[in-house]
Amino acid sequence: MDLGYSTFGKLLNSTGKPMVYSCSWPVYQIYAGIQPNFSAVKTYCNLWRNYDDIQDSWTSVENIIDYYGNNQDLIAPNAGPGHWNDPDMLIIGNFGLSYEQAKTQFAIWSILAAPLLMSVDLRTIRPQFKRILQNRKIIAVDQDPLGIQGRRIYKHKGIEIWSKPIGPLYENFYSYAIAFINRRSDGTPSDISVTLKELGLINFNGYRVEDLYENVDYGVLYPNTKIKVKVNPSGVVMLKGEVQFPN
């Protein structure tokens, strides 16, 4: 595989035509008990699979989310402009996900800087799922030019928080996209309260905070400000904190 995938990548480039090269190189090696050489993978491939094929079910999406969270120290550093980890296609608008679950997949895939490959029949897609796929603000998080793959920064009793550094920057301070996920099965929304500082947003000039699904602008908040979000079961709240510059 090391020879075959790299040789095929060279041959594609030798055509002089711009192409996107998608590889299953790492996942096949992982299945075979071989440690992938990610330095080579990201040299020759534009995107690659690390884990099982997605199925049209929430359980499958959860398994992928768990894999990327549990193995983030190994796989997240390999992502960057032109070379991406691929958690597999979006199943939004098909049959296996509820509306809340579809929002969660779109949010986490964007936090992961993942390729957004749709699998839905666009002739029959329902309007609420179409709106998810057309959310330009979340697409912009996914396609942020810095190309940094986000990480799971909190996991406890079915609540998870994922964070992705994005632009603009002020000195060494990033802006951030934050996804709060409720994976509990108790059938009721969960309240999550946290300060910006606890999320890693520590610039004393503050952050302009916006809800990317609800289009609510919370204005400029500061590191010690506590925010409270209500997250539906198997759902998500996705915020963007844009770093502020001094006046």
Assign a CATH topology to domain 151-243. Immunoglobulin-like (2.60.40)
Name the H helices within the chain.
2-14, 25-31, 38-44, 58-70, 72-75, 99-111, 127-133, 136-142
Assign a CATH topology to domain 1-143. TIM Barrel (3.20.20)
Q: Does the reported pTM lie above 0.85?
A: yes
The answer to whether 239 and 229 are in contact (CB under 8 A) is: yes
74-109 residue pLDDT tens: 999 999 999 999 999 999 999 999 999 999 999 999
pLDDT range class, residue 247, cuts 50, 70, 90: confident
76 forms bridges with which residues in the sheet?
none
**Where exactly are the structural domains of the chain?**
1-143, 151-243
133-185 residue pLDDT tens: 999 999 999 999 999 999 999 999 999 999 999 999 999 999 999 999 999 98
